[in-house]
Structure 1
Amino acid sequence: MNAPTTAEADVLEMAPIERPAQPLAMQQTGALAANSPVAMMLAARAQGVSLEEFGKMMDLQVRWEDREAEKLYNAAFAAFKAEAVRIVKGRKVSDGPLKGRDYAELHDVVDGVTEALSKHGLSTSWKVTRDEKDWLEVTCTLKHVGGHSEVVSMGGPPDAGGAKNQLQARASTITYLERYTLKAICGVAEGGDDTDGNPPAAVVPLDLLAAAREAAMGGWAALSKHIKSLSPADRAALEPESYALKKAAKAADEKGKQ
Structure 2
Amino acid sequence: MTKTSSISQLAYTPGAICAITPLAMISQAVERGAHVKTLEKLIDLHQRWETSQSRKAFDTAIAEAKAKIPIILKNREVEFTAQRSRTQYRYEDLAEIARTVSPILASFGLAYRFRSSVEGALVKVTCILSHRDGYFEENQLAAATDETGNKNGIQAIGSTLTYLQRMTLKASLGLAASHDDDGKAAGMPLPINGDQIRELLALLKIVGSEKAALLRFFKIDALPDLPAAKFNQAIDLLNAKRAQ
Q: TM-score, normalised by structure 1?
A: 0.62
The structure that is strand-richer by fraction is 2
* RMSD of aligned alpha carbons: 3.6
Change (3 A) 1:42 1:115: closer
Separation (CA, whole Å) in 2 of partners of 1:194 and 1:80 = 28
Aligned to 1:111: 99
Separation (CA, whole Å) in 2 of partners of 1:43 and 1:96 = 75
Aligned to 2:171: 184
Separation (CA, whole Å) in 2 of partners of 1:60 and 1:152 = 28
Aligned to 1:138: 125
User: 1:43: how far off?
Assistant: 7.1
Contact 2:123 2:160 in 1 (8 A): yes
Separation (CA, whole Å) in 2 of partners of 1:194 and 1:156 = 27
Alignment partner of 1:142: what SS?
Answer: strand
Change (3 A) 1:50 1:172: same
Render the CA deviation track for 1:106-157: whole Å, top value 9, x for unaligned.
Answer: 10111111111111111111101x4212111111111111111111111100
Separation (CA, whole Å) in 1 of partners of 2:147 and 2:201 = 11
User: 1:87: how far off?
Assistant: 1.8
1:213 matched to 2:205: yes
How do 1:19-34 residues align onto structure 2 when only pairs under 5 Å count? none
Letter in structure 2 aligned against 1:239: L
Alignment partner of 1:93: what SS?
Answer: strand
User: 1:201: how far off?
Assistant: 5.2
Q: What is the percent sequence identity of the aligned residues?
A: 29
Change (3 A) 1:224 1:240: closer
How do 1:8-87 residues align onto structure 2 when only pairs under 5 Å count? 44-87=29-72
Contact 1:140 1:185 in 2 (8 A): yes
Change (3 A) 1:59 1:231: farther
Aligned to 1:8: none
Change (3 A) 1:96 1:126: farther
Separation (CA, whole Å) in 2 of partners of 1:89 and 1:136 = 25
Letter in structure 1 aligned against 2:115: K
Letter in structure 2 aligned against 1:203: Q
Separation (CA, whole Å) in 2 of partners of 1:194 and 1:44 = 66
> Whose RCO is larger (CA < 8 A, sep 6+)?
2
Aligned to 1:159: 146
Contact 1:176 1:201 in 2 (8 A): no
Contact 1:102 1:194 in 2 (8 A): no
Change (3 A) 1:160 1:125: same
Alignment partner of 2:148: what SS?
Answer: coil
Contact 1:215 1:226 in 2 (8 A): no
Render the CA deviation track for 1:166-197: whole Å, top value 9, x for unaligned.
Answer: 100001001000001101111112112799xx
User: 1:200: how far off?
Assistant: 8.4
Contact 1:212 1:226 in 2 (8 A): no
Q: Which runs of 5 or more structure 1 residues have no equivalent in the other structure?
A: 1-34, 217-221, 243-258
Structure 1's consecutive aligned runs of 4 or more residues displaced over 6 angstroms after TM superposition are 40-43
Q: TM-score, normalised by structure 2?
A: 0.66
Separation (CA, whole Å) in 1 of partners of 2:110 and 2:147 = 35
Change (3 A) 1:205 1:164: closer
